[in-house]
A = this chain, B = another copy of it.
Amino acid sequence: MATDPIHRLIGELSRLPGVGEKTATRLAFYILRQPKHYAKNLAQALHDVVEQVRFCSSCQNLTAVDPCQLCADPRRNEMIICVTESVQALRAIEHTSEFRGRYHVLHGALSPLDGIGPEELRIKELLLRLRQTPAEEIVLALNPTVEGDATALYLQKLIAPLGIKMTRLAYGVAVGSDLEYTDQATLTRAYLGRQLL
């Protein structure tokens, strides 16, 4: 039965996160009911993504062309670099349409318990980049977690000697949220970071 294509597809699909055997079976039969080109397009997309996507040699974003579109765009300000933990975070910031500088993706955050030290992150690449092209400001857009904070602290110590201005995203209450249900840590940060009207 292991060599049966349907079983094999169910097996492969059930390795996706959040997809159990039931869901994988449902997906497999859904795919089988579609016109042939549907599965072919998905297979081609999977193939292309692993064959073509690599890290941008400058910002470490995932891209099919090197340098990536963001690094190649001459309208973006290369004097300001936004540092993120992941490509998904980069994309989230890009969707705000607020930031028009360059990015740098670390691909993780410091987490000694998980065996992730500075060597596992793209920190060397960031320092190399700063040495090659001067920057005026580095915006740390790291997750407001213990790991994100530790990474921010580490980068701050490393980059301070270069005399570059460093900022981080504001902590505070989320837009549209209810103060009654906002956690204490966030509320404390929002109070400490209160702004003059």
Q: CB-CB < 8 A to A45: which residues of B?
A: 5, 8-9, 11-13
Known: A39-B47, A43-B47, A44-B43. A64 touches B16 (CB 8 A): no
Whole-angstrom distance from the CB of A91 to the nearest CB of chain B? 8
Main secondary structure of the interface of A (DSSP, over half): helix
Report the separation of the CA atoms of residues A125 and B162 in the bound assembly, to the nearest whole angstrom: 78
Residue in B27, B40, B49, B64 whose beta carbon sits within 8 Å of that of A31 in the complex: B49
Beta-carbon contacts under 8 Å, A103-119 to B: none
Q: CB-CB < 8 A to A43: which residues of B?
A: 42-44, 46-47
A6 at the interface (CB under 8 A from B): yes
Whole-angstrom distance from the CB of A121 to the nearest CB of chain B? 14
Whole-angstrom distance from the CB of A49 to the nearest CB of chain B? 5
Report the separation of the CA atoms of residues A88 and B36 in the bound assembly, to the nearest whole angstrom: 20
Known: A4-B64, A16-B27. A39 touches B49 (CB 8 A): yes
Max chain B C-beta neighbours (<10 A), residue from A5, A12, A64, A87:
A5
A50 at the interface (CB under 8 A from B): yes
A17 at the interface (CB under 8 A from B): yes
* Identity of the chain B residue whose Cβ is nearest the Cβ of A36 in the assembled complex: B50
Known: A41-B12, A42-B46, A43-B46. A26 touches B17 (CB 8 A): yes
Contact check, A39 vs B50: say whether CB atoms are below 8 A apart. Answer: yes
A53 at the interface (CB under 8 A from B): yes
Residue in B6, B30, B53 whose beta carbon sits within 8 Å of that of A16 in the complex: B30
Known: A32-B62, A64-B4, A88-B29. A9 touches B40 (CB 8 A): no
